[in-house]
């Protein structure tokens, strides 16, 4: 009876079963846990709760538990899959892919790239962010400067201070914080607006300046200048010769040689040259009639 009791105790202590096949494969079962080791050194452990750990002879390990799977390679690369979400970590770089296809890549240096539904957002360690979607790209620096480029090539650059530069098909529009705007067309024409004053310069060098308040306009081209006031008075200057026309129609022409011709709206004309005043014939007749 004592011997039989001793054998029963031995069985209780072990409660463990080990099977070895002719090929060297060993299976150990204990309390619902099973460990299988192949002759090649591959080991698979399955717990009563269903957790399974598979380790290859090379050291690669795969752990599966409640639908979650963790695969670790010998080189340290780790892949975690859970409910369709996958996280891959290798040499500090991490790639997370959700079941919906959203992917987030983070490098060891802190750079992050997020891709989802064709849209991609990259953030550098320095805080610079680049968003790309349907060919359109928006880049924002950590200093707050933003550059947006469309698929059509249109680019809008906005500084942190609020200065904006828009470039499209060769045309460029620069707007400062103070409201000054400069428009440059592909043809070389430039328009500058500031505090209501507008300056237009053509590629040929023709310049037109218009002030807001007074409505005064000055046009300069090839050395010739024409100024028009809000009241309609116009002054044209060319090679030293000046012609001034008032809104009432009175015209004064002064040449470089100081010869001056004044014509009133009623067509009365007086010519002054080198200090000598010459009256029109009609005025001379009137003068003698008065003396007579």
> What is d(CA 215, CA 292) in angstroms, rounded to the nearest whole number?
51
Phi, psi of 2 (to 5 degrees): -65, -40
- Strand segments, DSSP code E, in 124-240 are 129-133, 136-140, 146-149, 155-158, 164-168, 171-175, 181-184, 190-194, 197-201, 207-210, 217-221, 224-228, 234-238
Structure tokens, 137: 């790209």
Neighbours of 187 (CB within 10 A): 11
Name the residue among 105, 110, 180, 181 with its Cα closest to residue 142: 110
| pLDDT tens readout for residues 234-244 | 999 999 899 89
pLDDT at 180 over 70: yes
Name the residue among 229, 232, 230 with its Cα closest to residue 248: 232
> Residues 130-141: what's their mean pLDDT?
97
How far is the CA of 67 from the CAs of 45, 84, 85, in angstroms?
Answer: 16, 9, 11
Q: What is the pLDDT of residue 270?
A: 67
Higher pLDDT pick, 278 / 237? 237
In percent, how much of the chain has pLDDT > 70?
A: 86
Structure tokens, 240: 């030293």
3-class secondary-structure state, position 283? helix
Domain ranges of the chain: 122-186, 244-292
Give the angle subtended at the CA of 95 by the CAs of 135 and 73, to the nearest 5°.
145
Q: What is the pLDDT of residue 285?
A: 34
pLDDT confidence bin for 259, thresholds 50/70/90: confident
> What is d(CA 128, CA 250) in angstroms, rounded to the nearest whole number?
66
Q: Which residue has the tokens 């349907």?
A: 134
> Residues 132-161: what's their mean pLDDT?
96
Name the residue among 3, 35, 1, 30 with its Cα closest to residue 17: 30
3-class secondary-structure state, position 3? helix
The phi-psi region of residue 24 (left if phi > 0; otherwise alpha if psi is between -120 and 50; otherwise beta) is left
> Residues 195-219: what's their mean pLDDT?
92
Question: Which residues fall within 8 angstroms of residue 251, CB to CB, at 6 or more apart?
Answer: 243, 244, 245, 261, 262, 263
Q: What is the pLDDT of residue 56?
A: 95
Output 109-114 pairs: Cβ under 8 A, ≥24 positions apart.
none
Q: What is the pLDDT of residue 230?
A: 87
Neighbours of 99 (CB within 10 A): 10
Q: What is the pLDDT of residue 15?
A: 79
pLDDT at 101 over 90: yes
pLDDT at 278 over 60: no
The rounded mean pLDDT for the chain is 87
Neighbours of 222 (CB within 10 A): 9
From 135-139, 180-184, 191-195, 226-230, the region with the lowest mean pLDDT: 226-230
């Amino acid at each position: 009876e004592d011997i039989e009791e001793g054998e029963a105790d031995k069985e209780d202590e072990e409660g463990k079963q080990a099977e070895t096949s002719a090929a060297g494969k060993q299976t150990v079962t204990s309390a619902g846990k099973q460990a299988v080791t192949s002759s090649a050194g591959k080991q698979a452990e399955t717990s009563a709760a269903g957790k399974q750990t598979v380790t290859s002879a090379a050291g690669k390990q795969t752990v599966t538990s409640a639908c979650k799977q963790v695969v670790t390679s010998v080189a340290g690369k780790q892949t975690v899959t859970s409910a369709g979400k996958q996280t891959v970590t290798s040499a500090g770089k991490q790639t997370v892919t959700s079941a919906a296809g959203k992917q987030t890549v983070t490098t060891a240096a802190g750079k992050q790239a997020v891709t989802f539904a064709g849209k991609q957002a990259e953030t550098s360690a320095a805080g610079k962010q680049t968003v790309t979607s349907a060919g359109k790209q928006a880049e924002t620096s950590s200093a707050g400067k933003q550059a947006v480029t469309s698929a059509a090539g249109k680019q809008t650059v906005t500084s942190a201070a609020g200065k904006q530069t828009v470039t499209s098909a060769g045309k460029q529009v620069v707007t400062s914080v103070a409201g000054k705007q400069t428009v440059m067309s592909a043809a070389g024409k430039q328009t500058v607006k500031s505090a209501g004053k507008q300056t237009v310069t053509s590629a040929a060098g023709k310049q037109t300046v218009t002030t807001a308040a007074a409505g005064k306009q000055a046009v300069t081209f090839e050395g010739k200048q024409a100024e028009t006031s809000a009241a309609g008075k116009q002054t044209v200057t060319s090679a030293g010769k000046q012609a001034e026309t008032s809104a009432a129609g009175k015209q004064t022409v002064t040449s470089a040689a100081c010869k001056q011709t004044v014509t009133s709206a009623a067509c009365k004309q007086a010519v002054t040259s080198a200090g000598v005043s010459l009256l029109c014939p009609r005025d001379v007749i009137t003068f003698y009639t008065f003396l007579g």
